[in-house]
Chain A
């Protein structure tokens, strides 16, 4: 068979792990829990990992595996694990690498739930997160010590839209024998090749663009096999036996299996379908974003527009280097007051008021009063989340319809 080279061709023509008995053109949904074995001996071999068969769907499942294989095809990863959500992906990775007395390096500019997980949840397990400016390598180095087990970064932070130079950050991490974990949810694999920028473990909320635009909840852990786990105190012993598979072994055999946050077969089916059109959908949404950033900048009621692809943005150059022509499909913009933000939102007719990002529908949100409502104003402002800012996640509608909706709402906003 001709070996596909193109992103979408690779997805669509990823072979099944096993031939389907009915030659179905889409991997069927296996919604069962358990699988039968021909003999006790076969069962023993399967549990030892010496037979390529499934035993129990919390651990592996044919439909989920097909989705994972597709992600593996387009990323060139060593191993891919699909989970029940993006936060399940983040928490599984952190619990795998960290233990009481260790620390993680991260920016405070993070998705709100990730921030609370790192700042509060894992602290109760004795794991510290050292927050610092990841764009400043000297500050990063100053925070690393012998108990640092990982650096965690978002490729574009949400909602600050900050972009870190990942090659520099990975160099800092690797010089200190630490893996770099990147959440690339806002820059899907068709625009960002994590391995090229020194990312060792990539986590993605596949709920967003990959799922087909918010069709279902899911997450991914993508292990590139680039980090030498012999340098990890926690994985050094496993590395002696499993070499580059040590991370995956620990994940599959212990953390993922025991935390139980597996992706459902139905979600995997939807996300596999979504993946097939990812490139087309995301490029359209990213173009909508670029055009609407320009459009909003021209509007007198709008006091600021933040979008890493915008000429003059602090992150324009590094965005172009890392994400090419499509530096995300999300922007933020400001009005003079919080009241103006609410008035504008309430007058939108096509654009939906919702908390997800990268749906096929364009979604708007006031971050300070919603995803950051648990923080006091001082903390929010320290996180660069302001009362005057709105977040717009672009969908795949036709540009002129979006412009019309924005314009009519702007005309009703002081």
Chain B
């Protein structure tokens, strides 16, 4: 187990964990629309399955969807 930050909140998870698993575990809404930053860097959508998250990593799920971002 290891501690990671998801959207600014601490979570204890089995590490390493892939981004795609993290999306499932967190029940991320409309995963086809989400953009993900890991430690401040955007991850290419094609790499969601292969990107591994380790202890102390920071993950942010953001929506730049539709025509543009909701943020």
Contacts and interface: CB of A to CB of B under 8 A. Distances in A.
Contacts of B71: 48-49, 249, 252-253
B51 interface: no
Contact of A68 (B29, B33, B63, B67): B67
B33 A17 contact: yes
A interface bracket (residues with beta carbon within 8 Å of B): 35 or more
Given A52-B33, A79-B64, A245 B42 contact: yes
Interface in A13-71: 17-18, 45-46, 48-55, 59-60, 64-69, 71
B70 A60 contact: yes
A81 interface: yes
Contacts of B29: 51-52
A328 B65 CA distance: 31
B64 A248 contact: yes
B60 A50 contact: yes
Contacts of A45: 7
Contacts, number: 89
A49 B62 contact: yes
Interface centre among B40, B61, B64, B66 (most CB of A within 10 A): B66
A172 B35 CA distance: 32
B66 A243 contact: no
Nearest to B63: A52
Nearest to B64: A245
Interface residues of B, number: 22
Contact of B41 (A52, A71, A243, A252): A243
B25 to A, nearest CB: 16
A244 B69 contact: no
Contacts of A181: none
B7 A52 contact: no
Given A60-B70, A79-B69, A253-B71, A52 B64 contact: no
Contacts of B34: 52
B50 interface: no
A245 to B, nearest CB: 5
Interface centre among B35, B60, B68, B69 (most CB of A within 10 A): B68
Contacts of A248: 64, 68-69
A79 B67 contact: yes
A72 interface: yes
Given A17-B30, A52-B63, A80 B70 contact: no
A69 B65 CA distance: 8
Interface string B10-54: 000000000000000000011001110100111000000000000
Nearest to A62: B66
Nearest to A256: B68
A79 B67 CA distance: 5
A60 B35 contact: no
Nearest to A64: B67
Closest 7 CB pairs of A and B: A68-B67, A49-B71, A65-B66, A80-B67, A243-B42, A52-B30, A79-B68
6 contacts: A17-B65, A80-B67, A81-B68, A241-B37, A249-B71, A253-B71
Interface of A: 17-18, 45-46, 48-55, 59-60, 64-69, 71-72, 78-82, 223, 240-245, 248-249, 251-253, 256
